[in-house]
Chain A
């Protein structure tokens, strides 16, 4: 079993829709979590960190459920420019190694 698992998608949604991605992690020692965004043939970029209390940044909301070992990303009012692959990332304690999921592809359509 992969340490961080994501549904690869693609999720095809109309512009303006709300879409949610889940990501599960298997290592209970994982302490920190992040969502990165990767555009086609580009480098990943940090979208947001995920805090235990949940956090929101504009149209994006991230939540962490430690009991069930999953994190989620909710995107409201989807834009065409949101089309990308979203990578779920976990880090153990203060360690230096990040574990990346394989990514969920989102396609926002007119």
Chain B
């Protein structure tokens, strides 16, 4: 059971470059989300989705785009990377509601450095 698969694990970008962080889950979860984790800031929500075709902004959405064309995949796009986007990124998913609906399953994270 793969759970939440996130790639790549490490990435170095130059300022202005674009890239996509991939996230896939095989648990048929309705809810998927992207967080960034910075020292002293805790995990902050970037974007989230409650189902295919539905996305919404979180706390820190600027500079990031998402789409949800399938239940399984939720990629995060950095349009023009900036040093302020240097962070550890986590993708997470959960069921929509009901039993187990509270538990977030996280991917293993992407360490991104923007030079």
Contact = CB atoms under 8 A, between A and B. Distances in A.
A37 to B, nearest CB: 11
Given A4-B42, A44-B90, A87-B42, A96 B50 contact: yes
Interface string A82-110: 00000100010010111011110000000
A49 B108 CA distance: 22
B13 interface: no
B109 A43 contact: yes
A94 B56 CA distance: 16
Interface of A: 2, 4, 8, 32, 34, 36, 41-46, 49, 87, 91, 94, 96-98, 100-103
Contact of B106 (A4, A41, A43): A43
B45 A101 contact: no
A5 B44 CA distance: 14
Interface of B: 31, 33, 35, 40-45, 48, 50, 56, 58-59, 90, 97, 102-104, 106-109
A96 B48 contact: yes
Contact of A45 (B40, B42, B106): B106
A102 B103 CA distance: 19
B42 A43 contact: no
In the A-B complex, list the 4 residue pairs whose CB atoms are closest, starting with the nearest: A43-B106, A100-B43, A102-B42, A100-B42
B42 A97 contact: no
A97 B58 CA distance: 7
Nearest to A103: B42
Given A46-B102, A96-B50, A97-B45, 13 more contacts: A4-B42, A8-B40, A32-B102, A43-B106, A43-B108, A44-B43, A44-B106, A87-B43, A94-B97, A96-B48, A100-B35, A100-B42, A100-B44
Contact of B31 (A43, A44, A91, A96): A96
B42 A101 contact: yes
Contacts of A49: 102
